[in-house]
Structure 1
Amino acid sequence: MTGIRKVFAAVFAGLALTLLSAAPAAAQADKLKLTVAGDGAEGVTIQATHTDGRRLDKVVRLVLTATGPDGQQIGPVQLDPQPEGQGFYSSGPVLSGGKWKVTVKSPAPLQSEATAVVQAKPQAQAPRQSPTPSPTPNRDSGEGFTWWWSVGAAGLALVAVAMGVGILLGRRRTAEENN
């Protein structure tokens, strides 16, 4: 009977330690750390993480407001997550040239707020010239496609010949064993 009591005591102690160690993580989960910066042009980027450094694993609704150099007001603008990474948000080109005071807020349950001064630089008026395209074939257009088919067909033929030789050698060996 004492062995069973020791097992129950050990299980209870392990469960209590597990629950107590999870409590600080749950307490930290109610806030976000928002890092606000300019994107080098007319937009804003935001990196959202938990205050304990963990990456954000769900979509959070972030709202941006900004005050410009001449008292111009922008926002509230709802920000959408970007494919660059977990917790990465971008506003797109919403600012004009100059220094802007940008505030980003997230609502409850992960309520947070961050403010930063961002230097927006307007895009050049003339469009940039793209480099001349390379003469290599475009994979999406189908050019060079026959070359890949010929390589695949040659590989398939080589596999078929190897299998045929293996079958012939196997039949010859069984025929010699039967005689």
Structure 2
Amino acid sequence: MGRLRTLLVALAAVSLLALWPAVPAAAHSGPVVLDVAGDGATGVTVRATYKDGHPVDDRVLRLVLNATGEGGRAVGPVQLNPANEGQGFYTSGAVLTPGRWTVLVTSPEPNPGKAEATVESKVAQSAPAAPAAAAPRRPDEGGGTWRWLAAGALLVVAALVLASTRRRFARTPAGRP
């Protein structure tokens, strides 16, 4: 009886521990590190991490972009939106014109952060044209795969007919037609 009770208590304890909610990781707060880069076209991408390297998982982090370009051009302030690339990634969309830009991204309190980078904005490239479809073959032009299949089927049928006639003649007595 003592062993059974110990086993039941152990099973109950394991069950309760399995149902116990996991202790959340230490909440991050404080300054963030911002990495700013061009997106290869006319936009800007920002990666936001906490000082310990964990990505900013809070989708309400408000990042603001201001940019100055050659000839006195200016863009901003533009609020950056969370990107679909993963946690901690933000994107501006197409806000820059082609050329060299000095981009400043800031994050307000309670998670202050600031980063500046020089970005070379380029015209977005279009996808390459789809290759032209191959012209259909005429029945009399090469590609006689169906001919090989038909010839093979004929050979199989001929072999079956020959084998069945040989068996029939082999069973017939020698004196009978």
TM-score where L is the length of structure 2: 0.55
> What runs of 5+ residues in structure 1 fail to find an aligned partner?
1-24, 135-179
Match in the other structure for 1:113:
114
Superposed displacement of residue 128, structure 1:
4.2
> What runs of 5+ residues in structure 2 fail to find an aligned partner?
1-25, 134-177
How many residues of Structure 1 are paired with residues of Structure 2 in the alignment?
A: 107
Superposed displacement of residue 97, structure 1:
1.1
Q: Which has the larger radius of gyration?
A: 2
The share of aligned pairs that are identical, in percent, is 49
TM-score where L is the length of structure 1: 0.55
CA contact (8 A) 2:34 2:113 kept: yes
Q: Give the distance between the partners of 1:133 and 1:83, measured in 2 at CA.
A: 34
Superposed displacement of residue 131, structure 1:
2.4
Match in the other structure for 1:170:
none
CA contact (8 A) 1:37 1:118 kept: yes
User: 4+ runs of 1 displaced by more than 6 Å?
Assistant: none
Q: Give the distance between the partners of 2:87 and 2:65, measured in 1 at CA.
A: 18
Asked if 1:131 corresponds to 2:130, the answer is yes
Q: How does 1:31-50 map to 2 (within 5 A)?
A: 31-50=31-50
Q: How does 1:1-179 map to 2 (within 5 A)?
A: 29-59=29-59, 60-123=61-124, 128-131=127-130
Letter in 1 for 2:102: K
CA contact (8 A) 1:37 1:116 kept: yes
Structure number with higher helix proportion: 1
